[in-house]
Structure 1
């Protein structure tokens, strides 16, 4: 038996750049993204892009509403960061 991906399409259907993120957001959220990005200091811009990329991925995820509801209800399954770091190291993957 093999595990099936949650999303059969490309796991990064929102390009990791300002244009891709803005294209995935709508209306007021797109304007909020641009305001935050344009107001960020150069050393803060990468963090802004990362946060908003996550927002755009969730906004365009077919299961996004279910995940948001589970998070708000406290029923979303979680994993400790230490466990993820350990698994990545065991798999020989980079840990930043």
Structure 2
């Protein structure tokens, strides 16, 4: 018998990591909030704002969003430690922050 993962990540991000990609994925007031935050950010913080909003846009476009939110609210969402995440990323050959 084989086991299927409960959730798997798509091979490519759903949202392009660009200003236009992020803005297109956000709806209404969230798009305006994104533009407002980016417009008010000092230049050395613009990348942090883009990264945060890209994550928001990825979550907003996740087809499993409702199930994930429900699991988080009722305490059944699987979690990992940061150490596990970093070890998995290293094992897969990815760069780690600060390296």
Question: When the two structures are superposed, what TM-score results if normalisation uses the length of structure 2?
Answer: 0.81
Matched, 1:24 2:25: yes
Partner of 2:38: helix, strand, or coil?
helix
Count of residues in correspondence between the two structures: 95
How far 1:2 moved relative to its partner? 8.4
How far 1:60 moved relative to its partner? 0.8
Q: In angstroms, what is the RMSD of aligned CA positions?
A: 2.2
Give the ranges of 4+ consecutive aligned residues of structure 1 lying more than 3 Å apart after TM superposition. 1-5
| Structure 1 alignment gaps of length 5 or more | none
Question: When the two structures are superposed, what TM-score results if normalisation uses the length of structure 1?
Answer: 0.83
| Structure 2 alignment gaps of length 5 or more | none
Cα distance in 2 between the residues matched to 1:36 and 1:24:
16
Partner of 1:6: helix, strand, or coil?
coil
